[in-house]
Each structure stands twice: as structure tokens, then as C-alpha cells.
Amino acid sequence: MPVSAASLTDEELTAFVKARLLVSGFDLSLLPTTFDPATGVPTQDSLVASLKGFVRSTPGAINTWRPASGSPTDDDLYAQQVAPPLEYPSIVEAWTGKVDA
């Protein structure tokens, strides 16, 4: 069951962010608890606050994106994964031999 980040309390979102960091193998305790101007390394609290802001804003926009065509079918959505847009299509076409010589 999907849950919107907007419906989570601040404590629940903090727990979510810390759990995701843990699952990803990131040890939050390696960061300092107080800011060090000499290194500029973020503190544990500032990193969690930044990630909470990201979770509240960006993933929802990404998750709700759908193709421009009216009502996409499962085949339409799958086709996007099979052939994602390429940053440099001419290079890939040359490597795969799809370029007319």
C-alpha cells in the first residue's frame, strides 16, 4: 500500500530516512554531530533534514509521471524501460551497427 510522504509525521519521516540509509549501507554515525567549518562535512542532523526535504518533494513527482499519450498501457510503460532515451544516440547507433555508412 503506497504511503505519501506528506501524510507522515516528522518523526515517522525521520525514521524512514534513517532506515533507508541503514538498508543502503550508509552508517550515519560516521558523520559528526556538530558542524566543523574546517571540513564542511554535513552533520547527522543536517543530512537527515536535507533528505527529509527531498523525500517530501521530489519522489512524488517522479512516481506520478506518465507518458504524454492519453492512457498508457502496460506495454507502453515497459517499452520505456526497454529503450530509454539516450544522451548520445549517434554513438550508440554506431556501436550497434545501426548507422548507415
Per-residue model confidence (pLDDT) at position 1: 45
Per-residue model confidence (pLDDT) at position 6: 78
- The vertex-59 CA angle with 53 and 64, nearest 5°, equals 140
Burial zone of 17 (CB within 10 Å; 0-12 exposed, 13-18 middle, 19+ buried): buried
Whether the predicted model's global pTM rises above the 0.75 cut: no
At 49, list the grid cell: 533534514
Query: Helix, strand, or coil here: 5?
Result: helix
Q: Where are the chain's structural domains?
A: 5-96
pLDDT tens track, the chain, 101 positions: 467 777 889 999 999 999 989 998 999 999 999 998 898 889 999 999 999 998 888 776 666 666 566 565 666 666 666 655 566 666 666 667 676 54
Q: Which amino acid is present at 75?
A: D
Q: CB within 8 A of 14, min separation 6: which ones? A: 48, 52
